[in-house]
Chains A and B, each alone.
Chain A
């Protein structure tokens, strides 16, 4: 069953088009992440779904009901904001029950729902505190609770973890995942953090300039990015790009010629100008490199040890090359090393359209 349906959604602020004829169909229980750089329209889209912004054109359906003209409170959504947006003068209990009181719910029912949400989120000892007396993680939990008590069909998260420090972010990320697993609600989650997107999402929608670039599972987006923007956006350290020509099963670039043996073209293999992208973690170095279809010998320029792995910088075909190596790899600046990669793991994009070949 479709939970949220966005149909031909367009939003303009004057002459500026923020969202351009957008269509998304989100099945019930899915965790969808809207991912993109700032200003790509992801938060705007979420605000449109929430009803906090009037759309210029198009429709929004939630649970097969057209809610395009509904007030935010009448849409069956709960929203969690980046700055928590807790009402500072109310206690945690007051924050949780505010929406229910507005809906004129019976007192006993309010109490029961607040107790249940507090139990799920483990904030029972905090119920009589004010937000100012809570830590960042606790505040965000209360903010999630505020959506939880209203028993909504769809949860909307607007960068909920961006204000937390790295360790807390990782903890709460797991908690949100667990929450989704237990509640099985539809969740739409906006973030610019690709780790959050990859770990949480059933599907990711990568947005740029108000247009969805690719809407797919995390694995598909990582392995088979549909265009050059998606390939460059997902993955850290960033993917390596080579500019060159596809000709007769090979890729020629800067005096080098890489074999394309094993590469799965979208259609028939076409010759012409193209980009070749290969992720730093798919470049193999050392003994096993020599058996791969593409090999080269490079000089290491800079080494960045990160503990779990080591990032080495070299130059190949006149372009800086990132190579992700094992954390224990004995490599230092100036070393000559043999590297190789499997073209099946690379991505080719047309030079002009930047679409996947």
Chain B
């Protein structure tokens, strides 16, 4: 007779159960699938051209060289201009910062007004704004060119900032409105009894309470605007091209040798900003999204 084990305390969970093998096996496969291209890019960017020509794209570099990175950043040519990606980087920064600040500032006030200071027709206004999110960008490209030209902003960085602000409005307003709607209404009432007005309640009550949603908005806007190619290429002059446009021009240049290592390094450099944002704020991002989702 086998000794019967008396069930007591925590139930034993075998580490190599069938469920665990399935679960972790799937996770590893999926992770490898997504990580492999990144691996190839990093490895290639650290190789010299002779080594690349051998053709083993999965092999680690025999001779590690940082020259492709240096070249991509400060020497690669687009047309007659040979300053590398650095110029595009600073252009992107100059476009990014005002666009993010402006769009979030306006959208958060919009969302606050729509959530807490309902006016006649506010629901209709909100619906129109949301419908705006579903209209394809391409429809509005040419009209916007004309509008910017008439305003004297065409080909100017501020014209692009304005475009980014406008196109960020529907989704950001929705985000902020839903978040502010989830803030208990009694808090808003209490502040009114305490004599705070529209801006007083916004700055002193609502803003300090909504850090998570601001983080979400910043992440959305930074990655969205940084990765934008279409608006950048249409609404700016070559001297003001953002990093993405410049990357395209470097990678797709038809003259001379295809420098795969420089292209890889340039692509990684361009993708670095959103990547850093995700890694640095991933937890806050999830928390913000979840906060909005649970409370409605």
The reply to whether B200 and A102 contact each other, CB–CB distance below 8 Å, is yes
Residues of chain A lying within 8 A (CB to CB) of residue B195:
71-74, 99, 102-103
The reply to whether A89 and B209 contact each other, CB–CB distance below 8 Å, is yes
Checking A50, A85, A158 against B187 with a beta-carbon cut-off of 8 angstroms, the contacting residue is A85
The reply to whether A71 and B192 contact each other, CB–CB distance below 8 Å, is yes
Checking A88, A89, A98, A146 against B196 with a beta-carbon cut-off of 8 angstroms, the contacting residue is A98
- A87 sits at the interface (CB 8 A): yes
Q: Given contacts A52-B189, A102-B196, is CB(A83)–CB(B184) below 8 Å?
A: yes
For the complex formed, measure the closest distance between the CB of A300 and the CB atoms of chain B, giving whole angstroms: 47
The reply to whether A89 and B193 contact each other, CB–CB distance below 8 Å, is no
- A79 sits at the interface (CB 8 A): yes
Q: Given contacts A81-B186, A83-B186, is CB(A88)–CB(B209) below 8 Å?
A: yes
Residues of chain A lying within 8 A (CB to CB) of residue B204:
87, 98
The reply to whether A82 and B194 contact each other, CB–CB distance below 8 Å, is no
Residues of chain A lying within 8 A (CB to CB) of residue B190:
79, 81, 85-87, 146
The reply to whether A89 and B186 contact each other, CB–CB distance below 8 Å, is no
- A77 sits at the interface (CB 8 A): yes
Checking A52, A86, A150 against B192 with a beta-carbon cut-off of 8 angstroms, the contacting residue is A52
For the complex formed, measure the closest distance between the CB of B183 and the CB atoms of chain A, giving whole angstroms: 10
- A210 sits at the interface (CB 8 A): no
The reply to whether A72 and B196 contact each other, CB–CB distance below 8 Å, is no
- A36 sits at the interface (CB 8 A): no
- B208 sits at the interface (CB 8 A): yes
Using an 8 Å CB-CB cutoff, how does the interface string of A204-222 with B read, 1 for contact, 0 for none? 0000000000000000000
Using an 8 Å CB-CB cutoff, how does the interface string of B178-218 with A read, 1 for contact, 0 for none? 00000010110111111110001000110011000000000
For the complex formed, measure the closest distance between the CB of A4 and the CB atoms of chain B, giving whole angstroms: 15
For the complex formed, measure the closest distance between the CB of B182 and the CB atoms of chain A, giving whole angstroms: 13
Q: How far is the CA of A103 from the CA of B195 in the complex (A)?
A: 7
The reply to whether B187 and A87 contact each other, CB–CB distance below 8 Å, is yes
Residues of chain B lying within 8 A (CB to CB) of residue A158:
186
Q: How far is the CA of A72 from the CA of B193 in the complex (A)?
A: 5
- A145 sits at the interface (CB 8 A): no
Measured CB to CB, the nearest residue on chain B to A53 is B189
Q: How far is the CA of A47 from the CA of B188 in the complex (A)?
A: 13
The reply to whether A85 and B200 contact each other, CB–CB distance below 8 Å, is no
Residues of chain A lying within 8 A (CB to CB) of residue B194:
73, 98-99, 102, 146, 150
For the complex formed, measure the closest distance between the CB of A120 and the CB atoms of chain B, giving whole angstroms: 19
Q: Given contacts A81-B186, A83-B184, A102-B200, is CB(A89)–CB(B192) below 8 Å?
A: no
Checking A85, A87, A98 against B189 with a beta-carbon cut-off of 8 angstroms, the contacting residue is A85
Checking A78, A82, A86 against B193 with a beta-carbon cut-off of 8 angstroms, the contacting residue is A78
Residues of chain B lying within 8 A (CB to CB) of residue A50:
189, 193
For the complex formed, measure the closest distance between the CB of A50 and the CB atoms of chain B, giving whole angstroms: 6
The reply to whether A89 and B184 contact each other, CB–CB distance below 8 Å, is no
Q: How far is the CA of A81 from the CA of B184 in the complex (A)?
A: 11
Q: How far is the CA of A88 from the CA of B207 in the complex (A)?
A: 12
Contacts of B249-285 to chain A: CB distance below 8 A: none
Residues of chain B lying within 8 A (CB to CB) of residue A85:
184, 186-187, 189-190
| Additional A-B contacts beyond A50-B193, A88-B209, A99-B195 (20; CB < 8 A) | A50-B189, A71-B192, A72-B192, A73-B196, A79-B190, A79-B193, A81-B186, A85-B184, A85-B186, A85-B190, A87-B191, A87-B204, A87-B205, A98-B204, A99-B194, A102-B194, A102-B196, A103-B195, A146-B190, A150-B194
List residues of chain B with CB under 8 Å of any chain A CB.
184, 186-187, 189-196, 200, 204-205, 208-209
Q: Which 7 A-B pairs have the closest CB atoms?
A: A73-B195, A99-B194, A102-B195, A85-B186, A85-B190, A89-B208, A81-B186
List residues of chain A with CB under 8 Å of any chain B CB.
47, 50, 52, 71-74, 77-79, 81-83, 85-89, 98-99, 102-103, 146, 150, 158
